[in-house]
Amino acid sequence: MWFSRYWCFSNKVTGAIVVYMSEEQNIQTVTSATSPKVVLLGTSGGPRWWGERAGIATAVVVDGFFYLVDCGSGVGRQLQSAGLELEHLRGIFVTHMHSDHVVDLASLGIFGMFELEYYTGPKIPIVGPADRGQVVRASPRADEDPGVLYPEEPTPGIEGFWEHSMRAHATDLNDRIRDSLRPSPSSLFEPREIDIPDSAGFHANNNPVPEIDPFEVFRDELVTVTATLVKHPPMAPAFAFRFDTRHGSVTISGDTAPTQNLVRLARNTDLLLHEVIDNEWITERYGNGSTPESKTMIDHHLNSHTTIEETARVANDSNADTLVLHHFVPGNRPLQIWERVHENHGQAIVGRDLMEIHFGKAYVRTRSGDQDSKTSLADAVPVETLKL
Ligand SMILES: [Zn+2]
Ligand SMILES: [Zn+2]
C-alpha cells in the first residue's frame, strides 16, 4: 500500500496534517502538506452579542482562496484574526435573511473599498435567498395583527438587502468614490439570488420545506456548491450549503430543525457543521410559556433549531464523517453543556471561534529542485484520505 511509504501525522487540535515522502521514491521532494479546511470565524447564533463568541460566520478555505458562509457580527475582524485577506475571497453565501447571518455583510462591501484597493479579479458574488414574496403570517397568539413594516417591500432578498444597505451609506460612498477615488462596493461585489427549482413547489408560507434534491448554486475550478431547503420556520427560504472540492466536502446546515433534506445534502460528507440549541436553556429562559410572548419563543426555538442530541442523529443518518457544532444558542453556555454531543457521536467537535478544521484528502505540495513550485492542485500529489 503506497500510503505506508509516507510518514504522516495529524494534530487533532488544529487539524493540521503533515505528510513527508522519502526522496528515494524518485518523485519530487515534499516540503509541506495541506488540505481544504474550514475556519470557524464566529460560532454564536441569534440576534444577540454573547460573551466571547463572535456572530456566525465560516470560511471554507481551498487552495489559498476562501468562500464565506454568513456574515454575523464581527466577521471582518475575525477574518483579520484568521489571517484571511479579502482579496482571496471567491464568494459569499448567505443561508437566510435573519440578521445574525447578514448583519455585517454591508461592512465587508464598504470597508472593501479600502481592503480591496488593488483587487483586479471578477466581482465577488454574494449568493443568497431571493425575496420571499410573502409576509410572514401573524402569530395565532397575537391579540391583534402587529402590522407590516415597509409594506412597499417587506421581505427583501439578498439583492434588495444589498441595494438598501448601500443606499443607506450613500453619503459616505459618494465621499469615498468622488474625493478619495475608491472603487464602489458595487464594482467589487454582486448579489445573486438563488433560484429554487420550480419543480419543488416551494412557497414561503404554504410549502416552505418541500422535499428536494440538492441543487447547484455555484461552481468554479475549486468548488461546487450545492444547496437544499432546510426547516427554519417562519423564515423561508432557508438554505444549507455543501462545498465539494477535489479533496473532500463540507456541509453547513444553516439554521434548521432536523429535516431529511439536510440528511440528503450531507450524505457521506467529510465534515458536517451543524447549528445547535440547548433545550435546557429554553426552559430556563422561558419557563413553561406562561405568556403569549414566551410561548411563541419556545415554539420558535423547538420548531426551528436542533438540539444537541438531534445533531448527532443527523450526522449519523447522513453518514457524515465528522460533526462540528457551531451557531450555539445561547452563545454563552459553558462548554460542558455542548460536550454532551460526544455521548451520541464518536467523531464530534465542539466549535470555538477561529478553530481550523481540515477535511478530506490531504494533498502534498511539491518542490522541484530549489524552486518552490507555487503549487496548484494540478501538480499536487494526492495521498490517502486522512480522517481526523
Ligand atoms: Zn441564526
Ligand atoms: Zn435564523
User: For 26-40, 86-100, 252-266, which range has the lowest pLDDT when averaged over its residues?
Assistant: 26-40
Calculate how far, in angstroms, residue 157's C-alpha sits from the geometric centre of ligand 2. 14
For residue 14, pLDDT over 70 is answered with: no
Rounded mean pLDDT of 357-378? 48
- Given a contact cutoff of 8 angstroms between Cβ atoms, the answer to whether 260 and 123 are in contact is no
Separation of CA 189 and ligand 2 centre (Å): 24
- Taking a C-beta distance cutoff of 8 angstroms, is the pair 385, 245 a contact? no
Q: What is the pLDDT of residue 209?
A: 98
Q: How many whole angstroms from 255 Cα to the centroid of ligand 2?
A: 5
Which domains does the chain show, CATH number per domain?
28-134+154-385 (3.60.15.10)
Could you tell me the distance, in angstroms and rounded to a whole number, from the CA of residue 48 to the centre of ligand 1? 10
CA-based max dimension of the chain: 79
Is the distance from CB of 55 to CB of 74 less than 8 angstroms? Answer: yes
Residue 361 has what pLDDT?
63
Confidence of residue 28 (pLDDT cuts 50, 70, 90): very low
Ligand nearest to the CA of 230: 2
Q: Over the stretch 58-75, which tens digit does the pLDDT of each residue have?
A: 999 999 999 999 999 999
Cα(15) to ligand 1 centroid in Å equals: 26
Is the model's pLDDT at 29 over the cut of 50? no
Cα(286) to ligand 1 centroid in Å equals 19
For ligand 2, the distance from its centroid to the CA atom of residue 304, given in whole angstroms, is 8
